[in-house]
Structure 1
Amino acid sequence: MHVKNYNKLALLVVIFGLFSAVYVSQYVPKTWLEQSLVYEVYQTNDGDNAYIYRGKEVIIEDVVPYQESALNQATLNNVNEPALSQQWVIDEQGTIKQLKPAFHFGVWSLLPALITVSLCLITKEPLSALFTGIVTGALMLGEYDITDSVIIPQLAKEGSAALLLLYLWLLGGLLGVWAKTGAAQAFADMMTRRFVRGQRSAKLVSWCLGVLFFQGGTMSTVLVGTTVRPLADRAKVSHEEMSYIVDSTASPIAAVLAFNAWPAYVQALIFVPGVAFLATEADRLDFFFSSIPFSFYGILAVIGTLLLSLNITTFSGRRIREAHHRANTTGQLDAPNAQPLSAKELQSRVVPEGYHSHHFEFIFPLITLIGIAVFTFILLGSPKVNWAFGAALMLAVGIALAKGMSLKNVMDGLNLGLKSVVFASVILMMAVIIGFISKEIGGGLYLVSLLGEQLPYWALPITLQLMTMVIAFSTGTSWGTYAIAFPLAMPLAWAIGEHQMLANPEIYMMICFATVLNGSIYGDQCSPISDTTILSAMTTGCDLMDHVKSQIVPASFAAATAALLWTLCVIGFAA
């Protein structure tokens, strides 16, 4: 299609999105739904009910009977706007839980995600697509002051500020110092001499690091991508292949080697009243680990990247095969007209004259980074990524100064690194904001609410998989999808198992649990508005949409195979 036709189509999408958003805001009523959160509640020495949140004790006050709550579903069905934003209740079984109201606009709740993804695919320009999606969602919520009411409050949140600190200042600064000192190139040269003999060994090193950093999410993506980029470029591995390997060994491996923060987060979302094997936190953690053999998508995704690392491209799709052939025959790591999410300055030699680079200038900060992340995870239960990157940056700067580099040259390196990641960081912030908006207007809630107890038991797992794939793809977050889907999907799975009298309801619940867990990972991994997708492209130097389009084929093949296996397991083991 001609460029002008693409522009016209994009303009029509924008106009449709904006006018539809105003229509929804004015004329489409909200559908309110009850959301319940169950914590590990205990009694203090003073007799108060309390729970632990982020390592701190929180006292629960004003608990009311569930039937009298202003936020139970029966009450929400008869109000236009809830009277409260949250309330603690106690149900007939004596379980204390927190109720929160949430709403959706029906099928219209999918509009911002649909507009954003459509524009990404049409224009291959993610920033304008994300901004249009944000404006569309804000108008649906009745927010017309986009900057002061939507963007600035989201950027001011602790999580957003932490992302800016990490990915703009610390990561950018570290990459810039490594470029200025030549440390990254010296590391690549050393690895090439001793370990990497070509494309296959470079990709295998990348795969092994992805498996080693099984914490998942952005931390794994940044660590692996930053480490392997120099040696992969030296071995002439295409950026599409590298970004796929980095992305597909981040969250998928975290669901399989789940010795990380995932089980602790997820277990709080899967309590089902009356289900003995989900009664306590220990029971739910045991349930999580028992379900790991059913994490077929995570297992297949990791195996798929291993096959690609061995240059077996049978299941990789046409785009990755073409990228592999292009890098082999022409040495071009990016497709023609690609717009990589990294500055070309980082690829050129900017080492001051007379400064002698050494690979230990890369290795020492990297070991420091990994060591602090791992030890803080062991000691505190959560990896302090900002501490890790901050210490690595300070060590890299200290080594450069100690070896005689002038302060001016070090600051030039920092400046170079910051400039190299500004564009990607802006995209990352826009992705965070549209993820919040998509969750706020209830797209995920709408999709899950379409399910019912009359669904055949064998169809529920694949239905949950498809639902969570769409939710995570639309919002760009797997953990956000878990918060939406698990509290609704797990009681539904139990109700269907009981209603249709399955012989092994616990196995059935494990399979349904695995479909939600893995479907969310797929959607997050393939979404152009996901932070891990953007960071995979950014750290490996790939064009964002080239990464998305090349990755979606092998990921979809793994997801389809997983769906077949889940269906067969339900029929074979649960019925």
Structure 2
Amino acid sequence: MTVISYADSALSLLPPVVAIVLAILTRRVLLSLGVGILLGSLLLTDFNVANTASYLGDRAVKLFWADGALNSWNVYILGFLVLLGMITALITVSGAARAFAEWARQRIRCKRDAKLLTIFLGCVVFIDDYFNSLVVGSVSRPLTDRYYISRAKLAYLLDSTAAPVCVISPVSSWGAYIIALIGGILATHGMSEMGHLNVFIEMIPMNFYAIFALLLLICVALFGLDVGPMRTHEQNAQKGELWDPAKTPPGADADLPEADTGKIAGLFLPIGTLVVATVYFMVSSGAAVLEEKGLAFDLIKAFENTNVSESLFFGALVGLAMTLAMVLKQGVEKKLILQGITAGAKSMLPAIWILLFAWTIAAVIGQLETGKFMASLATGNIPFALLPAVMFILAGLTAFATGTSWGTFGIMLPIAADMAMGSHSAMMLPMLASVLAGAVFGDHCSPISDTTILSSTGASCPHIDHVVTQLPYAVIVALLSLAGYVVMGFTESVLAGLATCSVLFVLSVIYLKIKAGSR
């Protein structure tokens, strides 16, 4: 089927703009992406209804079957997400998180240690942000309550480890989703030879917001940098008011039942097995490719040639097997095990739908050549060096309005890639990284963000209290990140951007320390 090119037409802007505006107005990402896909398909087929239906059908089929073979990349990624949901649900059912809470409560001796343990667990439990917020919240809440740490502070600790850690971890639901999107974008621009995992890893030091949000969190825990509304909540906590008594905190208990016989090994062994198995499959699949090419084994080359989606899927299979083995050995009722498996699989359906729609709109936007048209306008008015900073702001606004990082990734990453390829291809990775960073920033500030809501739930903190107390910290990190993207854009140096952020970060910590000490 012949499709029409809109590289030189403003009409190419229509589908992504409509998708973004609808997402802001309706806060329904799937509907917004769906309308954008439909409008883009109509444009590509010159509004021929029959051809549009045929085009959409072809795009839907290609999600699972392309070029006469199974689209293994997509299928494995979707399978990984389903298996991940099962693992997290079974860990909850086993009562392992509750067991660890009891174990840790006997060993933590001061307020600072309780906060640092929460941060540590947030960094360790990185496979999924939902799992992170709820599990780490349930583990840490008894400890933070014991040392009179406000629920608002706990919610901040949870939220500022969940998304920032997941967005820079390839072995996570976020990492799999982002790598999948990047893979589609690279294929669209004829860059399939670039290793998807390698590209993702290269982008990690460019994600200034995620890096410095974590560093600021550690400084807040170490130095007691309580400013703004957070200061009030911490002062009240010292009086025994862990949350505002006039408000009802959300319940933090999961819907799934928890066994009373859980062991702490039931939390760490499944996660450790998942990580180790996935790394093994990444190395072995990359080594197999090197062997086919007649090249000697090299660890870095193996990672560059690895099959990420297949490795994630089989790593999750091994992780699920370990989880099942431990739950069965524990003697959990089979009825509860089945309930956990079913609930875990269902919990990933929203993510799967968003991913399918995001893959589709990425392909549509690529065929419309929207980015090339935007780049032709931007290069005439905005220096290409400012594009990473501009994309950071736009992604932040979109994520704030829609309450979803994943939806923002799906909408903004293809546009950023197209703009980079149409103006200065060397800016591709910085622009993609700035979208990831901006989306996490907007997610942190948004009261309708699922991660923000789950962090409030995991901490059993009144939701708006969490949003208000976290906002000053998020804005500080966003401002220094924005400066870093401006410097990186003009110098085309990641180190220069990091250095700028580092200097501003130190100055910010000193300022916060002075403010916190002036009470």
Q: 2:249 aligns with which of 328, 335, 339?
A: 339
Cα shift at 1:295 = 2.0
Q: Pick one of 408, 429, 432 that aligns with 1:481.
A: 408
CA displacement at 1:529 relative to structure 2: 4.0
Distance 1:193 1:370 in 2: 23
Contact preservation (8 Å) 2:20, 2:32? no
Question: Is contact 1:109–1:441 with CA below 8 Å preserved after alignment?
Answer: no
Match of 1:96 in 2: none
After TM superposition, the structure 1 = structure 2 runs for residues 85-124 of structure 1, keeping only pairs within 5 Å, are: 104=15, 106=17, 110-111=21-22, 113-114=24-25, 116=27
- In the alignment, what sits opposite 1:268? 183
Task: Point out where structure 2 has 5 or more consecutive residues left out of the alignment.
Answer: 39-74, 282-309, 497-519
1-structure distance, mates of 2:423, 2:200:
20
Structure 1 residue 561 displacement after superposition: 0.9
In the alignment, the residues of structure 2 paired with residue 295 and residue 519 of structure 1 have an alpha-carbon distance, to the nearest angstrom, of 9
Q: Is 1:205 equivalent to 2:132 in the alignment?
A: no
Give the 3-state SS of the residue equivalent to 2:106 in structure 1: helix
What is the Cα deviation at residue 430 of structure 1?
8.4
Alpha carbons of 1:242 and 1:559: their partners in 2 closer, same or farther (altered >3 Å)? same
SS in 1 for 2:225: coil
Cα deviation, residue 539, structure 1: 2.9
2:194 matched to 1:281?
A: yes
The 3 A distance-change label for structure 1 pair 462 and 471 is same
The equivalent residue for 2:136 is: 224
Relative distance call for 1:391 and 1:237 in structure 2 (3 A) is: farther
1:377 to 271, 278, 286: 278
Partner of 1:301: 213
Aligned to 2:233: 323
Mark the runs of 5 or more structure 1 residues left unpaired by the alignment. Answer: 1-63, 79-100, 117-129, 143-157, 352-356, 402-406, 498-504
2:386 — aligned with what? 459
Aligned with 1:517 (options 428, 431, 436): 436
The Cα shift of 1:389 comes to 7.2
- Aligned AA for 1:373? L
Closer, same or farther: CA 253–523 of 1 in aligned 2, 3 Å: same
Counterpart CA distance in 2 for 1:333 and 1:206 is 18
Q: Using a 3 Å threshold, how does the CA distance of structure 1 residues 346 and 229 change in structure 2: closer, same or farther?
A: farther
How far the C-alpha of 1:467 sits from its partner, in A, is 1.1
Retained in 2: the 8 A contact 1:255–1:298? yes
| CA offset digits 1:391-425 (Å, max 9, x no partner) | 65884575367xxxxx7xx98x99xx99xxx9xx9
Cα separation, 1, equivalents of 2:78 and 2:433: 29
Conserved 8 A contact 1:112-1:438: no
Q: Distance in 1 between matches of 2:456 and 2:211?
A: 22
Aligned CA distance change for structure 1 residues 544 and 193 (closer, same or farther; 3 Å): same
> C-alpha displacement at 1:559, in angstroms?
1.1
**C-alpha distance in structure 2 between counterparts of 1:540 and 1:366, whole Å:** 19
Residues 235-246 of structure 1 aligned to structure 2 (within 5 Å) = 235-246=147-158
Q: What is the aligned partner in structure 2 of residue 471 from structure 1? A: 398
Q: TM-score, normalised by structure 2?
A: 0.61
The number of residue pairs the alignment matches comes to 417
Report the residue type matching 2:452 in the other structure. T
Classify 1:322/1:107 alpha carbon distance in 2 versus 1 (closer, same or farther; 3 Å): farther
How big is the shift at 1:226?
A: 4.3
How far off is 1:337 after superposition?
A: 0.7
Is the Cα contact below 8 Å between 1:214 and 1:257 reproduced in 2? yes
Residue identity opposite 1:110 in structure 2: V
Kindly provide the amino acid, as one letter, of the partner of residue 5 in structure 2: N
Instruction: Give the 3-state SS of the residue equivalent to 2:264 in structure 1.
Output: helix
- The structure whose residues are more often helix, as a share, is 2
**Of 557, 561, 572, the match for 2:476:** 557
- What residue is the counterpart of 1:310 in the other structure? 222
Q: Quick one: which amino acid aligns to residue 473 of structure 1?
A: F
Task: Tell me if the contact between 2:277 and 2:319 (Cα under 8 Å) persists in the aligned partners.
Answer: no
SS at match of 1:208: helix
How much does 1:300 deviate?
A: 0.7
Residue identity opposite 1:201 in structure 2: D
* In structure 1, distance between residues paired with 2:408 and 2:234: 33
Of Structure 1 and Structure 2, which has the larger fraction of its residues in strand? Answer: 1
Tell me by how many angstroms 1:463 deviates.
1.1
In percent, how many aligned pairs have the same letter? 25
2:3 aligned partner: 70
**Letter of the structure 2 residue corresponding to residue 104 of structure 1:** P
Query: Does the 8 Å contact 2:81/2:352 carry over to 1?
Result: no
* Structure-to-structure mapping, 1:156-175, within 5 angstroms: 175=92
